[in-house]
Structure 1
């Protein structure tokens, strides 16, 4: 990277320290105001003791970030592709009629659609499809809706890793690279290629107007030589050679049969392969790597040498950020500030590379599950404010961090712009498609925080300990107060359960509604109810024996 620019960055350090100071003051004042408004009428905050601070869990790998204060913010001229991850919480087709025009108005130019088991496979793949998979007619509707909003469609087809939706099945378990793990397919088995090619052919046929296809290849956590002599291709020895042979075989198949298609592929496996091996494999003439990183300091995490290697090998490059699904596998609210920092970090790299490397586009990733077996993370409607703010940043709008995001609030029809930045600033009260889901989940989040505050409270710990329950021995006044707060939480949670279910049912199938409730809401309800069941036991005594309760 340019050392002179680095020096200029430090010259402006004092200026940005001042801006950061005022920004932090603004956040603190807003947080105090919101806390007062939200809790002043709450019965939960009245517990007569100090509430233990709830430490916010942050990324264990977080580090001091690069200062991006002097980045010249320009409109990123490449394609802006929004990832639709359908391997979790696939919306009803009717939702796309509302969603696609909104995405276009926010600045998106295309969609990376990861169908996984929501595609209606047939013939040898018939059993791969979910029982709720879209029909081919519905896929045709998706194509038409995207075209009406001038959105490109790029199907994402996993071709080595992330194949759990196929390899979990009895009929395909023999194709696993490691028999116990249904994530990576055997890369040198002839039957593996037959399955992958069939999947590619069926998805391409259902999308006759596409110009690009993405063949995945990310997070291949292990690679193994597998298969018998009868059903395997001869392969080379190193894991990188096995990987390159597999991916070039797939890319050549697509290039030969669909010569007009550009082929995208995630880059994380390429990073550790030597330039000579990459050139020898001829992969540079077949695919366009998508360099992905979802952290807040992409420059430090990837390092400058990667870009030097790639620009000398690949004529075209893509990058991939995240607008959701990158801060925890079971998060239900999006950490907007994390994703904005991720995009600012990418903008810094874009600024540095603009004279050296052409970037074709950016994929704004929105994982809905981390893999086929994991639980849901943030739902798409919950994360639309994050997506809108990230797209605005990519379009060159240098909004002041001291000001509320009013322009995005207008696009999303939100009454409280500050609320778009996260729950610490209140609820945004938005009317965009699915905005009621965000409002309901924010209310659930408040109940969950109130519950955690109660059980971390000094009085709960001191008078509702296992010792107290064991001997039905506690202070009735304190116990009754705590149980009253918990009972109120239980009532509110029942109300929110109905509210969330109703909001989700408008967009999602019942299976998604029940999965979300089972993953997030019901565990909290069960914890509260388990405590409430102990009330009569703990308050059953009107007189108590002499101590000690434990005898020699």
Structure 2
């Protein structure tokens, strides 16, 4: 069994997380449908039976291990069903929520506390704001932790023990998705969120302390989208952080350019196809193209070098081909079309 293989590779562990989140296609296959029909089970009950079997295996073969599972498949389970499931003394649920405004069932804490003595919380320090996001908005994740601290203070006493908070950091939304928010550029967010949890709130002292620990020459920008100057810093992976922040700012300039009224008016595809445009407008557009292309080319080189210090070549190739190279191709094409227009003038 895969569980036993993992256990063998991690001797001495105290906790084992079985996952069990987002089981969206339960009870869909013919085998499950047949069992539900024969035993008069709902998909929810089928899920609980399966989870209990997995937890039973861990309890029988590794009795000193405490099992953990994600809670989302339990959130809307009625209390009597949950109490009769037998999970109460077999597992500790980890309640995940990554937004700054909570959208959990209002009865979740009362319900869970009647079934599970101990509970875990799970926040996010990166990766929860968009499947193809590449920059971490620290302020967003600080807000998420502010809400979690409030929940811990208000609801924690309902349980025998709040075991802790797991700070999640997504790398992909699924195995077929692109990379999101690489870890090195998110280390400042991780540092902020960890110290915030430790101190009980986010303060100027927390901000200053983490900035100094990561050797920032000025306070860490909490919202990278505000285009503040990228402060010099020195921590493992800081070259990726500074290059990505520079790319974020240039990317915003690029997006403004492709939506610019001048481009859409005098350099749209139709005008380029007919080679019919006004050089008075094309010349300044071309100058801006050159500036953006030069910046993208330099950042591509910087990021390729920095990423290769940390990641495998195929990861570096994927990231560059997804996020930077399409923009370089598009702006290069705009340069060539603008030059052609001017040569025909």
Q: Does the aligned pair in 2 maintain the 1:420–1:428 contact within 8 Å?
A: no
**Matched residue of 1:291: which SS?**
strand
Does 215-224 or 286-295 show the bigger shift?
A: 215-224
The reply to whether residue 413 of structure 1 matches residue 215 of structure 2 is yes
Unaligned ranges ≥5, structure 1? 1-197, 543-552
**Matched residue of 1:269: which SS?**
coil
Q: Does the aligned pair in 2 maintain the 1:263–1:288 contact within 8 Å?
A: yes
2:3 is aligned to 200
The 1:482/1:433 distance shift into structure 2, 3 A limit, reads same
Structure 1 residue 344 displacement after superposition = 0.2
**Matched residue of 1:242: which SS?**
helix
Which of residues 126, 129, 137 is equivalent to 1:324?
126
Moved over 6 A (4+): 231-234
Q: Does the aligned pair in 1 maintain the 2:137–2:222 contact within 8 Å?
A: no
Which of residues 313, 317, 337 is equivalent to 1:534?
337
Structure 1 residue 491 displacement after superposition = 1.9
Q: Does the aligned pair in 2 maintain the 1:339–1:386 contact within 8 Å?
A: yes
1:275 is aligned to 79
The reply to whether residue 456 of structure 1 matches residue 255 of structure 2 is no
Structure 1 residue 466 displacement after superposition = 2.8
TM-score of the aligned structures, taking structure 1 as reference length: 0.59
Q: Does the aligned pair in 1 maintain the 2:124–2:167 contact within 8 Å?
A: yes
1:498 is aligned to 301
What pairs up with 1:55-70 in 2 under 5 angstroms?
none
Tell me the C-alpha RMSD between the 2 structures.
2.1
Structure 1 residue 373 displacement after superposition = 1.2
Structure 1 residue 337 displacement after superposition = 1.2
Which of residues 37, 43, 48 is equivalent to 1:244?
48
1:257 is aligned to 61
1:349 is aligned to 151
Paired residue total: 341
Question: Alpha-carbon deviations, 1:9-53, whole Å to 9, x = none?
Answer: xxxxxxxxxxxxxxxxxxxxxxxxxxxxxxxxxxxxxxxxxxxxx
Q: Does the aligned pair in 2 maintain the 1:337–1:421 contact within 8 Å?
A: yes
Q: Does the aligned pair in 1 maintain the 2:146–2:201 contact within 8 Å?
A: no
The reply to whether residue 284 of structure 1 matches residue 81 of structure 2 is no
**Matched residue of 2:124: which SS?**
strand
The reply to whether residue 364 of structure 1 matches residue 167 of structure 2 is yes
| Counterparts of 1:342 and 1:516, CA distance in 2 | 27
TM-score of the aligned structures, taking structure 2 as reference length: 0.93
Structure 1 residue 334 displacement after superposition = 0.6
Structure 1 residue 469 displacement after superposition = 1.4
Q: Does the aligned pair in 1 maintain the 2:172–2:179 contact within 8 Å?
A: yes
What pairs up with 1:135-154 in 2 under 5 angstroms?
none
**Matched residue of 1:537: which SS?**
helix
**When you count helix as a share of all residues, which structure comes out higher?**
2
Q: Does the aligned pair in 2 maintain the 1:347–1:394 contact within 8 Å?
A: yes
The 1:419/1:528 distance shift into structure 2, 3 A limit, reads same
| Counterparts of 1:279 and 1:339, CA distance in 2 | 34
Q: Does the aligned pair in 2 maintain the 1:404–1:417 contact within 8 Å?
A: no
The 1:468/1:225 distance shift into structure 2, 3 A limit, reads closer
What pairs up with 1:22-421 in 2 under 5 angstroms?
198-224=1-27, 226=29, 236-298=40-102, 301-357=103-159, 358-396=161-199, 398-400=201-203, 405-421=207-223
Question: Alpha-carbon deviations, 1:73-125, whole Å to 9, x = none?
Answer: xxxxxxxxxxxxxxxxxxxxxxxxxxxxxxxxxxxxxxxxxxxxxxxxxxxxx
| Counterparts of 1:226 and 1:469, CA distance in 2 | 53
The 1:284/1:490 distance shift into structure 2, 3 A limit, reads same
